[in-house]
Structures are given as C-alpha cells and as structure tokens.
Amino acid sequence: MKDVLIITSYFPPETGAASNRMFHLANGLQKRHYNVSVITPLPNYPTGKIFQEYKGKFKLTRIENNITIHRLWVYASNSNNKFLRLFAMLSYSFSLIWFFIWNKIPKTVIVQSPPLLVAFTCMFFLRSKKRKLILNVSDLWPIAGLELGAFKKNFSYQLLEKIERFNYKKAQLVLGQSEEILTHIKSIIPKKETFLYRNYPDFVVPKVEISHPTEEPIKLVYAGLLGVAQGIFKLCESLDYSNLEFHIYGAGAEQSKIETFIANHPELPITFHGEISRIELHKALLKYDLTIIPLLNRIYGSVPSKIFEYARLGLPILYFGGGEGEHIVEKHQLGWIANAGDYQSLNRALTTIKKTDLNIELKEKIKKTAFKKFDFNNQLNTLKL
C-alpha cells in the first residue's frame, strides 16, 4: 500500500470549496487503497477563530474515515490587516517545519497552493530526489492578488513571483484546476509535467422534488463564501427584484454588511439563511429555481467549483464571472451568462429567463451532463501518483 501525504490549509470540518476539494481527494485516494495522511491547521476557516472543539490544543492527530489527520497549531485570523494575515500563514509554516523535523515524511506528497508561502515551505524543506512532490494549484498567486487589488507591482510582488517559480520548478507534477492555470505554468516552465484536475464533486445527489411551474417570482439562490471577491453585497444592491426573490446561504467578511442592508430594506425580497452543513445545503438548494455564481472581478485561472457542484444537483446556473467558467457554462448548456461586472447585463439576462424555462426537464438535462462530463472518479482514475 503506497503512502501519500496531503498538505493543505483547509480541511473539514471547515467549509468551502477548498476544504471540500481536499477532502474528496484524500477520500478518493484512500478508497483506491492508498495509505493517506493529511496535515492541516486546527480548524478556523472562515471565522478566523479556532473552532470550539479544538481550542487550547497545540496539535491533534486523529484517524477519520481511515485517514490519519494531523492538525497543527496556527495563529488564526481573517483580519484585513496584511501583517496579521502574513503572520497567520507564517505560523502554519513554522508548525509544518517542526512537524517535518520530528516525523517521517512519505515519498509521495501533495501540496495545496495557495497559500503561496505555505506551499513554498513544503517545496523547500521536502525537496529530495527520492521524493515525488505534487503541487495542486487551485488559484494563481500572486496574479490573482494583483487582479483583486491586494498587491501592487513592487519588490514584494517580484519576490512572490520568484517563490511561485520555485514552487513550480521543484514539483515533479503540477495539478491545475483550469486550462488557464496550466497555460500559465507552461509559460514559466515549458517542459513541466501537468495534469488538468478539475474541482469535480463527489456526493450522493438528493432526490429532486418535482415542482410544477407557476407565475410566482423566480427563486434565485447564492450559496458560498460571502467575501469581497464574490461581491454579494453589491449584488443585493444591484439586482432587479421585479420578478425575483433572492436567497443567500453562507458566511464571510461581507455578512454583517449584507444583514444590515436587508434590515434597512425590508421591502426587498432578500432572505439570509446563514450557514448550514453541506448535506443540508444540497437538500435546500433543490427548492430553488436558479443559482447565481458571481465574481466581482474576473480572476485569471479561477474556475468556481460551484459550477460542477450545482450542475450535479441539476440546478440551472446564471454565471456572472467571466473567464474559463463562463466558457464551461456555455459549452455544456448549464444555464445563462451575464457579462462579468456588468449589472445591466445581469438584469437583462434575468428578464429573458421565465419561470417555465426552469422546469424539471432542464434540471434533469443539466444533471445528466454533469454525471457524464464532470465525473470525479473517472478523473481520479487517470491521475497517476
């Protein structure tokens, strides 16, 4: 039985795309008879506080679903202060170095990136001719940070670019969640071995309840991180509610602003449901007609994993983020497109969608496409570690 170590900054019981992605990878490899272990921080995302069950612990090792999980100390923070965020990343890096010194590390290691500095710590301290380092790149940093306005092209940015190049160079194999990511990596290191590893979900789909079309408003839903990049607060302000209800699930930096906006505008049909478990969310989403996947700014290399998750549920998508994600929704006929960042385009798209369009036939068609084209097991079977 081959030993595989996965090093990630996010893992259940934390919620979100990154946590789900790494759990599915670990679980999928374990089912294929790999001896899987995971190193991850003590759970703290997205609140920026160590979860109650794990408070006061410096390190915790448990076996969960036949996977050995090492949870290490981290200075937890989701502060907007760059120095505090940097210290949080460095604290996890220090914990990793300590772990590397005192523990035997398997010959096959999968490292999640971003965070860039955490990935660098792993690639630097674990580099060896006898070890296969696999870098799993889900977003392109520092480019994404530049596009989001978090970085400026200065000395610090140039340093991060050097770290990025180092990480790619030391990896024997790079997994990328989008074609854009792989193109970027090849532009830096042309002969690097790469593999397109999409964020396909792996879950049992709840039974779809058959609903009959009515003249009621369209029930639009967003579920996920309420962060700056998603722009849900701006969405609340800009949507045309003439034939629309807007339902929101999740947590994050914009949550208080969204709750305040809803309280100050009781005339608008917006409901905030808070954060619920992923299993409960999947059941809840089936009550809605249409989901929206927004990005405030188009981010090169980014393909929201919600596309694949919602398609598996058979939920029609209104995509509002541009880039490769837009191409996937169009190509596979998963729903409708609005020009990224153009709220007039978004509202125009909504006026073209009728309640009767969002019927069981469309949902079943989307679901069949997802099972055929976005199959987690087929993808993992072709990945050779």
The tens place of each residue's pLDDT in the chain, 385 residues long, gives 899 999 999 999 988 778 888 999 999 999 999 999 999 999 998 778 889 899 888 899 999 989 999 999 998 887 777 778 778 888 999 999 999 999 999 999 999 999 999 999 999 999 988 899 999 999 898 887 777 666 788 888 889 999 999 999 999 999 999 999 999 999 999 999 999 999 898 888 887 665 555 568 999 999 988 887 788 999 999 999 999 999 999 988 899 999 999 999 999 999 999 988 888 999 999 999 999 999 877 788 889 889 999 999 999 999 998 889 999 999 999 999 999 889 999 999 999 998 888 888 999 999 999 999 999 999 999 998 8
Check residue 213 and give its pLDDT. 53
Structure tokens at 274: 């808070």
Query: Strand, helix or coil at 344?
Result: helix
CATH of domain 218-372: 3.40.50.2000
Check residue 215 and give its pLDDT. 63
Check residue 214 and give its pLDDT. 59
pTM: 0.85
Check residue 208 and give its pLDDT. 61
* Amino acid of residue 28: G
Answer yes or no: are the C-beta atoms of 96 and 70 closer than 8 Å: no
Give the separation between CA 383 and CA 351, rounded to whole angstroms.
43
Give the separation between CA 169 and CA 161, rounded to whole angstroms.
12
Check residue 256 and give its pLDDT. 92
Give the separation between CA 182 and CA 193, rounded to whole angstroms.
10
Query: Strand, helix or coil at 248?
Result: strand
Check residue 244 and give its pLDDT. 93
Check residue 145 and give its pLDDT. 75
Query: Strand, helix or coil at 190?
Result: coil
Listed by start position, the domains of the chain span 3-201+376-381, 218-372
Q: What angle do CA 372, 374, 375 make, to 5 degrees?
A: 75
Q: How many residues does the chain have?
A: 385
Reference 346, options 357, 332, 335, 333; nearest CA is: 335
Query: Strand, helix or coil at 52?
Result: helix
Check residue 295 and give its pLDDT. 85
Answer yes or no: are the C-beta atoms of 278 and 20 closer than 8 Å: yes
Answer yes or no: are the C-beta atoms of 258 and 248 closer than 8 Å: yes
Please report which helix (H) or strand (E) contains residue 234, including its range.
helix 232-238
Q: Is 283 exposed, middle or buried (0-12, 13-18, 19+ CB in 10 A)?
A: middle
* Amino acid of residue 85: R
* Assigned architecture for domain 3-201+376-381: 3-Layer(aba) Sandwich (3.40)
Check residue 314 and give its pLDDT. 92
